[in-house]
Structure 1
Amino acid sequence: MLTGTPLENRLLDLWSLLTFATPGALGDRAYFQKHFDRRKDDRAAERLSARLRPFILRRTKGQVARELPPRTEENMLCELTGLQEKLYREQLAQAQHMILTSTGAEMLNKRRFAILQAITRLRQICCHPALVQPGADDEESAKLNALMELLDQLHDEGHKVLVFSQFVAMLKIIRDKLTGLNRPFHWLTGASQNRADIVKSFQETPDPSVFLLSLKAGGSGLNLTAASYVILYDPWWNPAVENQAIDRAHRIGQTQPVMAYRLLAKNSIEEKIRHLQQQKSLLSSDVLGEENFARSLDQQDLEYLFDIGERRGDDE
């Protein structure tokens, strides 16, 4: 079995693959969940790595493509103001109340879907007020302003740029901005039918342009080495997915250093998601990929994401 893409979802995906490739190596499903669930046992990942080692030969891109130019990542912090900040504070207060009124792990699990919805809504507000409030298309967005300033600079310097977002509605707002400025752009989402033609046009057109891609549709399987700049408009749970997005430009055939910008709303859930990504990166180094980031959040993580400690301090 050969894969060029990290396992990105959950450990059961790994069990399925190994059960097909080496039947019995990881036991049946019940045995696997009992012995290798790191949420129940801190040493589970260590045991799983030892069990997998004889069956896996891992070669990272850094080992097999040493001629690749350097890749640099930078976080750009944007401060929320106006309606965007107001909406964020209101949604944050509702989420804090939900967490504070959830007692015990069982109750928290019952509310997990609602909690994840609240996290998504906060992330959408960080992108643009219009993603949660109809008719707010003309409202200010700190991240959109930062993006357009950066795109202006890169356009003047003659660069091609990849812009990724999880939210297609956000890509449409950016597209409208570029259209108003009469700036060339390319567009790829899950609904796009002619992927090969779109990619070919971006790769072969010599003029500077922007390629707007949804993270899921464009995060893997594409060669976009005509671009040497990548912008992640909103952080995703799984850092492996973000890395795959950046690697659309940083791959064999790239001759220029690749610069990746990650736009983050300052003092927001986005900054904290980024911090938790780095904390939980042990999951991906212990095994091949990592478990679903959202499912790995515990009570302490949620309190951190929603500023519960600060809220409790204010109440005392």
Structure 2
Amino acid sequence: TTVEGDGPRRKMIWQMPGAQVLLCNYEVVVRDFQTMLEHCDNPQVTSRDGLGRIVKRTGDRNGSESNGGVASLDSPLPKFDLVVLDEAQRIKNRDSVTSKTARAIPRKRSLCLTGTPIENRAEEMYSLFEFMGVIPPHATPDVRQLSKLSEVHILRRTKDLVMKDMPPRLDRDEIIELSPAQQHAYRTAEKDGVIQLNEMGDSITVQHVFELVMRLKQIANYDPLTGESAKLDRLVADMEEISASGGKAILFSQWTRTIDWLAERTTQFGRLVYHGGVPTKKREPILDQFKHDPNAHLLLMSYGTGAVGLNLQFAGYVFLYDRWWNPAVEDQAINRAHRIGCKSQVIVSKFICKDTIEERIDLVLRQKRELFRRVLGEGDNENESLSLSAGEIFGLFDLKKRTSKGGTTSIGPSQPGQDAA
């Protein structure tokens, strides 16, 4: 039974005696949990704990806390035999409303489903293990202990184990030197930008550094004044070979502006454009044309619209024209082509400009992948989600992280939402 409808209907569904399985999203359970507690007569439900009038952070009848410090004794929900959290990374922050509400649901057993158990830090697994009752409230196991807990309590189903007969995915980093005009624009922007950041002193925030990173990444794509682009030269050379053999390629960029710029310069490959600016009703015809038109060799896509939900396994080549902040998003994009049904190997080319911010970001992301493997073990790790932290983005320019005046703890979204301009 799906928990939906207006408030009174949802309340009735929660308490429905004949319902065997209840389905709802996180927003519904948080909202309804709060609403029902606000009308609860139990005098214990009075203290505020980040959830409005949800719980009293006192001991239970035996004088000890349960469910992560949230007294399930006062829950307005029935006691469930099993609570399953899909996309369980939603509770990664122990102090969030969603996490506290999940821990407050009365239950006998708990199960978490997630492809991204770690998004930024290994510590994010604390909340998942606490929800499952694996560790006591407020426990902080180190990486070695987390690794041991993962071996016992996590069942991983990786693509390299499940789909052994799939054609291979071949990744290659294409290290590219900036054109002369790009080098001049890049060095000038970097020098001036770092000087400005240092002059800001303690008023600097991660957002200020992030803006410089974005500006440098865009110059690495192409020089806005001259239009010179070493990446475009490499792309054209590769696409000439691909199109000559009748192949098809998908190119991903985080900027719609870059995609539109490329579209004007790759018409010889029958290029098609698919990003957030394309009307929804036109998107399916574009994908159909890419699949069936023998002259359509290149599909230009944004991470925001092309990273999930599309099946393009007939494309044998993928280009990451610029890098996303999170390797999980890149892997999701690549898996539009490398998935069940692909008939041949998929060649993935990641464009990285030499001696630029792109090399530094790539190094940090590689280190984060290694952290993921240390905690969860070996595997294809295609679903790991590891964004850059505020300290790491400052470190890209050897800047010392200031106080958190900006209120931001990571650079870039962990998942692509709206397309960047």
Indicate whether the TM-score tops 0.5.
Answer: yes
Per-residue CA deviation, residues 73-122 of structure 1 (Å, 9 max, x unaligned), is: 1122222233322210111102332455577xxx48x4211011111110
Structure 2 residue 300 is matched with structure 1 residue 198: no
Structure 2 residue 279 is matched with structure 1 residue 184: no
Partner SS for 1:198: helix
Residue-pair matches, total: 279
Aligned pairs for 1:7-86 (under 5 A) are 9-10=119-120, 22=131, 31=138, 35=140, 43=142, 45-86=143-184
Structure 2 equivalent of residue 116 of structure 1 = 210
Counterpart contact for 1:83–1:140, Cα < 8 Å: yes
Distance 1:201 1:46, change over 3 A: farther
TM norm structure 1: 0.76
Partner SS for 1:129: coil
CA distance in 1, matches of 2:359, 2:184: 18
Structure 2 equivalent of residue 220 of structure 1 = 308
Shift of 1:61: 0.5
Shift of 1:247: 1.7
Structure 2 equivalent of residue 293 of structure 1 = 388
CA distance in 2, matches of 1:143, 1:296: 29
Aligned pairs for 1:244-263 (under 5 A) are 244-263=332-351
Counterpart contact for 1:126–1:265, Cα < 8 Å: yes
Distance 1:27 1:302, change over 3 A: farther
Distance 1:122 1:207, change over 3 A: same
Per-residue CA deviation, residues 2-21 of structure 1 (Å, 9 max, x unaligned), is: 668545744698677777xx
Partner SS for 1:249: coil
Distance 1:295 1:191, change over 3 A: same
Distance 1:5 1:128, change over 3 A: farther
CA distance in 2, matches of 1:75, 1:112: 28
Shift of 1:48: 3.8
C-alpha RMSD of matched pairs (Å): 3.0
Shift of 1:173: 0.8
Counterpart contact for 1:283–1:289, Cα < 8 Å: no
Partner SS for 1:74: strand
Which sections of structure 1, spanning at least 5 residues, go unmatched? 37-42, 131-135, 305-316
Distance 1:199 1:8, change over 3 A: farther
Instruction: Among all aligned residue pairs of Structure 1 and Structure 2, give the percentage whose two residues are the same amino acid.
Output: 28
Structure 2 residue 328 is matched with structure 1 residue 240: yes
Shift of 1:225: 0.9
Partner SS for 1:280: helix
TM norm structure 2: 0.59
Distance 1:71 1:4, change over 3 A: farther
Amino acid in the other structure paired with 1:185: R
Which sections of structure 2, spanning at least 5 residues, go unmatched? 1-84, 87-112, 377-382, 400-421
Structure 2 residue 219 is matched with structure 1 residue 125: yes
Amino acid in the other structure paired with 2:365: Q
CA distance in 2, matches of 1:184, 1:297: 40
Counterpart contact for 2:369–2:386, Cα < 8 Å: no
Q: Which has the higher contact order (CA 8 A, sep 6+)?
A: 1
Amino acid in the other structure paired with 1:204: H
CA distance in 2, matches of 1:14, 1:223: 31
Higher helix share: 1
Partner SS for 2:313: coil
Amino acid in the other structure paired with 2:155: L
CA distance in 1, matches of 2:210, 2:389: 8
CA distance in 1, matches of 2:118, 2:308: 12
CA distance in 1, matches of 2:290, 2:372: 33
Counterpart contact for 1:231–1:261, Cα < 8 Å: yes
Structure 2 equivalent of residue 307 of structure 1 = none
